[in-house]
């Protein structure tokens, strides 16, 4: 049978035979899954691992620095980034801090995640990675 170019590893049904209720349910499931999909996948070679410089916290209303109980300024957590190179370009991906310590320069990695809101912007939010051989 021919492969459907719009899906991954799904075969086309032989529609010369009558459809069963199960066939219709399966096709509706696939259709609904495609309508509501929210997935992001990107693979590439890790070219760099970077840590952002923490920024000082300021009170939104008074614009004064936020101090801890010892009177010292407080800072936001650092962000961790991996620069990956893929066919056609490079991309900086924000990663989790434990990933930062486990990823190795030069490895080919597949990152998987979703589109989501982060700081009022639609961004890629990655929830897993796989080191490719």
Dihedral over alpha carbons 60, 64, 65, 70 (to 10 degrees): -120
Q: Is the pTM of this model over 0.75?
A: no
**Token pair belonging to 106:** 């030069």
Position 27 in a domain: no
The pLDDT, as a whole number, for residue 10 is 60
> What pLDDT is stored for residue 118 in this prediction?
77
User: Would the CA dihedral through 52, 54, 60, 62 be positive or negative?
Assistant: negative
Highest mean pLDDT among 8-12, 36-40, 116-120 belongs to 36-40
Q: Is residue 86 part of a domain?
A: yes
For the domain that residue 116 is a member of, what is the CATH number? 2.40.50
Domain count, the chain: 1
Q: Is residue 31 part of a domain?
A: no
Among 1-15, 82-96, 113-127, top mean pLDDT goes to 82-96
Q: Which residue has the tokens 């069963």?
A: 20
Residue 58 lies in a domain: yes
Could you tell me the residue range of the domain that residue 103 belongs to? Answer: 40-132
Give a yes or no: residue 16 inside a domain. Answer: no
Q: Does residue 73 lie within any of the structural domains?
A: yes
Could you tell me if residue 118 is inside a domain? yes
73: left (phi over 0), alpha (psi -120 to 50) or beta: beta
Instruction: Give domain status of residue 32, yes or no.
Output: no
Average pLDDT of span 59-69:
89
Provide the pLDDT for residue 3.
47
């Amino acid at each position: 049978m021919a492969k459907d170019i719009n899906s991954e590893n799904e075969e086309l049904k032989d529609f010369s035979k009558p459809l069963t209720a199960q066939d219709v349910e399966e096709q509706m499931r696939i259709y609904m899954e495609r309508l509501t999909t929210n997935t992001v996948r990107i693979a590439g070679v890790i070219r760099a691992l970077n840590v952002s410089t923490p920024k000082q916290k300021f009170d939104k209303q008074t614009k004064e620095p936020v101090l801890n109980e010892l009177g010292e300024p407080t800072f936001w957590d650092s962000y961790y980034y991996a620069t990956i190179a893929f066919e056609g370009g490079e991309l900086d991906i924000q990663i989790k801090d434990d990933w930062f310590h486990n990823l190795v320069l030069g490895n080919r990695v597949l990152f998987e995640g979703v589109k989501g809101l982060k700081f009022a912007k639609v961004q890629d939010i990655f929830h897993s990675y796989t080191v490719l051989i």
